[in-house]
Amino acid sequence: MAQVLEFKLPDLGEGLTEAEIVRWLVQVGDVVAVDQPVVEVETAKAMVEVPCPYGGVVTARFGEEGTELPVGAPLLTVAVGEREPEPEGSGNVLVGYGTQAPAARRRRVRATTGAVDGQGVRRAADGNGQAAPSGAPADGRATRRATVRADAHAPAREAAPAVAQAPVSATTTPASPATPTAAPSEGPVPVISPLVRKLARDNGVDLRRLTGSGPEGLILRADVENALRAAAAPVRTAEEPVVRAPAAPVAQGGGTRIPLKGVRGAVADKLSRSRREIPDATCWVDADATELMRARAAMNAAGGPKISLLALLARICTVGLARFPELNSFVDTEAREVVRLDQVHLGFAAQTERGLVVPVVRDAHARDAESLTAEFARLTEAARTGTLTPGELTGGTFTLNNYGVFGVDGSTPIINHPEAAMLGVGRIVPKPWVHEGELAVRQVVQLSLTFDHRVCDGGTAGGFLRYVADCVEQPAVLLRTL
């Protein structure tokens, strides 16, 4: 007899707690193989194809395209052939991108479910793990009870219930937005995301007074934000007329509301956090890049792989960070310590159709200009196609931002939290410049450094920026320090 297994949205790594369904790759009734990609989802880090660890026939899908699901929510069910009571599937767990061997994972919501037979009847487990009575009702929506485990990030007294969602159909009605209840509800708070808990805790929102808009009443981040907006709205007196807001997505005054989610939302959150937590300062300098451009032209004329300007600037940065290690660090706010790092994992800003992303070149300090050029090209192409993995978008220690490609000269970059500094590079353009005592037209670039004033003072930041400018003006300086 076939057994139906439920495949839940796996932990995608890097602390991500939710993902949006972008495109289903299989239909109900399709036969899937072990580790075959079944759905494409977008996280705050990247677009990811999720492989299913089971092989068999797809019997149900959960969530329409555009639906945001938390980690642990059901994705689909697969009918497989006869197996042992504890089927192993592929034995793989998705972490980041693709599958890999199972590893220890943080505690989170886990649902205990039984199998669904051909008529859609599900045998459920109750809160004690005992099988439901044979006479218990079951319908086509495959109602289940769940075993609840406490959220590892939440207070010990709170527990997050497992989330279950019915298979989508043409008649599925969207969930209503969260609304405060008259009094705190009984039982565990339906929250799975530690980020949502923290947002509510930091703003004094009682989660027990909210009704979630997610599957099975799950409280989402948007629900907490809606409650905060409602609390901040002015109180209307009985004499004041009721003004109804226009329906989304049209905003009052004819504008359009665009949800801050996915990559755009992640960028907004990270930049806001950087501004809140990091006391940054910016210094800048103009540099004559004529000799650097000539050196690059000579290198490329010698044959072999072409060297990019970004790779040369990256090489200068890594050597500069070895001389000024204070800028290759981060602040541990809880320990009140500055943590200086041994390796340079160099991030670089890349603008894509999905928004701004910062891919990271691992061990940039150990790469030559040719290797850096190849890695920049690979990561840029992956950013353009939306195939960067979460691991390729995190873990940077210093960021290089070439905003000159947008035709601008200067900027005051926002530090990529939790890093300590970012070097900005403007466009390189012909300008009047005093060279060897004579006025001449030279290729001039503006360099700017935004740094965390907690890790160093202006002398260190200015020393690093001056070293970078000297290498740009006289590439031989770089050779003397290698």
Just list the catalytic residues.
453, 457
Q: How far apart are CA 74 and CA 62, in angstroms?
A: 6
Among the listed residues 115, 112, 79, 100, the one whose alpha carbon sits nearest the alpha carbon of residue 35: 100
Q: How far apart are CA 145 and CA 111, in angstroms?
A: 8
Dihedral sign computed on CA atoms, order 349, 351, 352, 357: positive
User: Helix (H, G, I), strand (E, B), or coil: what is residue 369?
Assistant: helix
Q: How far apart are CA 366 and CA 216, in angstroms?
A: 50
Write the CB contacts of 138 (distance below 8 Å, at least 6 apart in sequence).
Answer: 120, 121, 122, 123, 124
Give the single-character DSSP code of 14: T
Q: How far apart are CA 149 and CA 196, in angstroms?
A: 17
Strand-pair category, 398-402 with 122-124 = unpaired
In degrees rounded to 5, what are phi and psi of residue 305? -60, 140
Among the listed residues 294, 318, 280, the one whose alpha carbon sits nearest the alpha carbon of residue 414: 280
Q: How far apart are CA 232 and CA 453, in angstroms?
A: 34
Distances 5 to 33, 215, 459 between C-alpha atoms, Å: 14, 20, 62
